[in-house]
Amino acid sequence: MHFPHKSLLAILFSLLLGVNAPQALAAATKSEIEKQILITHLLEIIDKVGIIIPGEGFKSIKLGEPVEKLIRLWGRPKSINRKGTLSYLLSYKTTIHFLVKKDRIDTIAVNGRTGSLAHVNNGVVFGMTQGQVLAQFGVTPDKVKKNLVRYKKLGIELGFDSNRLTEIGIFKP
């Protein structure tokens, strides 16, 4: 699908900020150069962390890789807890937690809301119902509960709140 630059910018801006894109765009940008910088920044975010790969991680950082690589690529985390979890805020709609064991990324948990830039590589997005998620994967999960769907062989666990996808966990199958 092809979008003109202004349409793409409006879509990305509204997804990231959750506001009415034309008004926000007009208020936030003063020149074409600023618009191009914003487009570039948003596309970098999407490229870096947008696509979740079950059993692997993200395009830029995978399970099992050293925590030093994560910090080098993604910068300093927003927070680090005592258990060794590094947390990054993608936007107010998305937080990504990396559980580190022995200086390597062990598991990843992505918490998000409808409109989050993060999504699974098969088209599963935050806000989908459990039925929509099950249909999208098209294979039988290992575990299905009211608030949880787990695909052990794929390395992904999906958490639901009020029947809407709110958490995606990635682990080695």
Q: What is the reported pLDDT for 1?
A: 35
- The residue among 150 and 36 whose pLDDT is bigger is 150
Same-domain pairing of 68 and 150: yes
Q: What is the reported pLDDT for 8?
A: 46
- Signed CA dihedral, 14, 25, 39, 6: sign only: positive
Residue 77 confidence (pLDDT) above 70: yes
Q: What is the reported pLDDT for 151?
A: 96
Same-domain pairing of 165 and 92: yes
Confidence of residue 172 (pLDDT cuts 50, 70, 90): very high
User: Which of 26-30, 40-44, 115-119, 130-134 tops mean pLDDT?
Assistant: 130-134
Query: What is the distance between the alpha carbons of residues 122 and 144, in angstroms, rounded to a whole number?
Result: 19
Same-domain pairing of 9 and 58: no
Q: What is the reported pLDDT for 73?
A: 87
pLDDT tens figures, 44-70: 665 566 789 999 999 889 999 999 999
- Signed CA dihedral, 99, 93, 70, 123: sign only: positive
Number of domains in the chain: 2
Among 33, 50, 67, residue at a domain's last position: 50
Stretch among 43-47, 119-123, 163-167 having the lowest mean pLDDT = 43-47
Same-domain pairing of 73 and 34: no
Q: Which two tokens stand for residue 20?
A: 């009415």
Same-domain pairing of 145 and 102: yes
Question: Considering the chain, what percentage of its residues have pLDDT values greater than 70?
Answer: 75
Q: What is the reported pLDDT for 20?
A: 45
Same-domain pairing of 23 and 90: no
Domain span at residue 58 reads 52-170
Q: Tell me the average pLDDT of the chain.
A: 82
Same-domain pairing of 89 and 28: no
Instruction: State the CATH number of the domain containing residue 92.
Output: 3.40.33.10
Same-domain pairing of 140 and 81: yes
Q: What is the reported pLDDT for 110?
A: 96
SS3 124: coil
Backbone angles phi, psi at 31, to 5 degrees: -150, 165
Going through 14-163 in order, the beta strands assigned E by DSSP cover: 51-53, 57-58, 79-80, 85-91, 94-101, 104-112, 119-120, 143-145, 148-151, 156-161
Side chain identity at residue 71, one-letter code: I
Query: What is the distance between the alpha carbons of residues 89 and 91, in angstroms, rounded to a whole number?
Result: 5
Same-domain pairing of 74 and 145: yes
The CA–CA distances, whole Å, from 15 to 56, 57, 66, 116, 165 equal 25, 22, 31, 7, 17
Q: Which two tokens stand for residue 167?
A: 């958490």
Backbone angles phi, psi at 118, to 5 degrees: -75, 140
Same-domain pairing of 57 and 31: no
Residue given tokens 């994967």 in the structure block: 137
Entry pTM: 0.73
Task: Check if the beta carbon of residue 124 is closer than 8 Å to that of residue 135.
Answer: no
Same-domain pairing of 91 and 150: yes
Same-domain pairing of 20 and 89: no
Q: For 140-152, what is the mean pLDDT?
A: 93
Side chain identity at residue 112, one-letter code: G
